[in-house]
Amino acid sequence: MTVPLPFTVLIPARLASTRLPEKPLADIGGAPMVVRVAQRARLSCAIRCVVAADSPSIVSACLEHGVEALLTRADHPSGSDRLAEACDQLGLRDDAVVVNVQGDEPLIEPALIDAVAAMLAMNSDVSMSTAAHAVDSVADFVNPNVVKVVLDQRQQAIYFSRAPIPWWRDGFAEAIVALPQPAPLRHIGIYGYRAGFLRQFPALSPAPLETLESLEQLRAIWHGHSIAVHVTDHAPGPGVDTPEDLARVRLLFKA
Residue 99: pLDDT above 60? yes
pLDDT given at position 241: 87
pLDDT given at position 57: 96
Whether the full predicted model's pTM is greater than 0.95, yes or no, is no
In whole angstroms, give the CA distance from residue 174 to residue 124: 42
pLDDT given at position 140: 93
Q: What is the mean pLDDT of residues 8-20?
A: 88
Residue 169: pLDDT above 90? no
Give, in order, the Cα–Cα distances in Å from 60 to each of 69, 77, 196, 215.
8, 23, 29, 31
Domains of the chain, first to last: 7-254 (3.90.550.10)
Smallest CA-to-CA distance from 161 within 150, 174, 151, 147 is with: 147
- Element housing 113 (H / E): helix 110-122
What's the full length of the chain, in residues?
255
pLDDT given at position 253: 87
Smallest CA-to-CA distance from 54 within 99, 17, 18 is with: 17
pLDDT given at position 171: 77
